[in-house]
Amino acid sequence: MASPVPIVHAAASDEDARSAAGGRAVPWPEARRGWMIAALLALASIASQFDRVVLNLTVEPVKSHFGMDDTQFAMLQGVAFGIFYTLCSVPIGRLADKHRRTGLLGISLLLFSGFSMFSGLARNFGQLFASRVGVAVGEASVTPTGLSLLADLFPPQRLGRAVGVFFLSAPFGIGLAYLVGGQLLDGLSALHLAGEGLPLGLLPWQACFLLVSLPGLILAPVFWLLREPLRRGGGHDRAMSVGEVVAIVKERRLALTLMFAGFSMVTVVNFAYNVWMPALFGRVYGWDPAEVGLGFGLVMIVCGTSGTFFAGVLADRVAASGKVDAPLRVAAWSFLLCGVFGCLAPLMPNAWASLALIAPAMFLSCMPVPCAGTALQLIVPNRARAQVTAFYIMVISLVGIGIGPMIIGFMNDHVFTAPTDIRYSMAIVVGIASPLMWVLLLAAFKPYRKLREAAET
């Protein structure tokens, strides 16, 4: 990635330069511009979800085509995507804190969309593994860079709603990808079986990857043309050295350690469910990808997005009552309740009963996501926000993406060996992760309050 640096470095914000020269307070951007950029960030996040979901929907044909077992398939999402997503988050976060963030997002969209296309053209497991690594590198900038931008577009009392809108794109994108991807895969499979064939001799799952990569390619130039907003808040006037950022983390290490560990449990549950939900409904309830896409997709769109947005609104309201630890409070109690529904859902006797419990579980499991993003932005100086957020993503991804799908895959292969026993693997993971997260965040309340109170004095 040597070439992106000059492009990003060349476009410093004119507003930033004027602010540094004048040394005076600058009004916050118009709400209309802030929400426009928030919407574009949400679209970028949605584009990134399509690629991940298509791989989950095509688990059986991909496994059959490359002769993989469940553990190897989990490696595509856990090791190839998860590990490299985390490894690249911190250096890309540093780029975002030093250079033009809008240009960096444009490059990232182009990168992960291109490698997503390559996933559909892979001819062996090694090529497919490599393509997932490329997707991970491209997608690693979306969250830390997006949150850094939002913190410069919205004042603290409105940041929760904006972060909620940004993060609701994840469940909405996942749900939409399940809906569109399931129907698309079903239609392409019908064409293939009818004998008409697909262009270039592609199989249905391969053609799916090519088609879902197009939105990211279309969106990339929009970010290249977008003007960089003014950086504001503590430490906004100059780039920080690595040593200074490390010192910031050390000063906040107690709160950050508890927060990172707690929110990692959310990632464990969310990724375990997102990766293995199609397999659960296929093996236990006999649903095909189109049925899974329709059922789970609608649940994610309705419950996931509403839970994410509601969390932002609720956190802002709790904060307005004087509780500076509002994001952590909302996250802790919502995820504890999520564990009850999420643990029981895969054990239900039929698919509709399972979906009925997955609905509230998804609503509640999505609530901590914007709370984490909001909480971090409020205790970290401006020029370290993307880096600390990236470090946060690295930690929760190593634990959540790397371990969540892998544990279920391992238990499917070596503990609960009957195909329908996947339900027990999923129930155990949720049943352990949810109360553990609650305990960790409760312990984080006090050190987090001290940091917030210090930031406001």
Is the per-residue pLDDT at 1 higher than 50? no
Query: Average pLDDT, stretch 312-324?
Result: 83
Query: Average pLDDT, stretch 250-258?
Result: 87
Query: Average pLDDT, stretch 253-263?
Result: 89
Q: What's the whole-number average pLDDT of the chain?
A: 79
The pLDDT assigned to 439 comes to 93
Query: Average pLDDT, stretch 253-277?
Result: 85
Angle 420-421-424 (CA atoms, 0-180°, nearest 5)?
135
CA 271/CA 402 separation, integer angstroms: 9
Predicted confidence band at 360 (pLDDT cuts at 50, 70, 90)?
very high
Q: Are 258 and 443 in contact (CB under 8 A)?
A: yes
Query: Average pLDDT, stretch 31-35?
Result: 85
Query: How far is residue 430 from each of residues 256, 262, 406, measured CA to CA in Å?
Result: 23, 13, 14
CA 393/CA 90 separation, integer angstroms: 8
Angle 424-429-431 (CA atoms, 0-180°, nearest 5)?
90
DSSP E strands, 289-364: none
Query: Average pLDDT, stretch 311-324?
Result: 83
CA 308/CA 412 separation, integer angstroms: 31
How many residues can be counted in the chain? Answer: 457
**Can you state the angle between helices 253-285 and 422-456, rounded to 10 degrees?**
150
- Residue 132 — φ and ψ, nearest 5°? -70, -30
- Greater pLDDT, 352 or 290: 352
Architecture of domain 31-227+242-456: Up-down Bundle (1.20)
Each residue's pLDDT tens digit, 364-392? 988 898 888 788 878 887 677 777 877 88
Predicted confidence band at 17 (pLDDT cuts at 50, 70, 90)?
very low
Beta-carbon neighbour count of residue 69 at 10 Å? Answer: 11
The pLDDT assigned to 392 comes to 85
Is the per-residue pLDDT at 243 higher than 70? yes
Q: Are 249 and 388 in contact (CB under 8 A)?
A: yes
Q: Whole-angstrom distance between the N-terminal and C-terminal Cα of the chain? A: 41
Predicted confidence band at 337 (pLDDT cuts at 50, 70, 90)?
very high
Each residue's pLDDT tens digit, 110-142? 988 989 888 888 888 888 888 888 888 888 888
Each residue's pLDDT tens digit, 103-118? 889 998 998 898 988 8
Q: 135: which 2 tokens?
A: 């997707």
Q: Are 232 and 23 in contact (CB under 8 A)?
A: no
Query: Average pLDDT, stretch 62-76?
Result: 79
- Looking at the chain, the whole-number percentage of residues with pLDDT higher than 70 is 89
Is the per-residue pLDDT at 13 higher than 50? no
Predicted confidence band at 230 (pLDDT cuts at 50, 70, 90)?
confident
Each residue's pLDDT tens digit, 163-181? 778 877 777 887 787 777 7
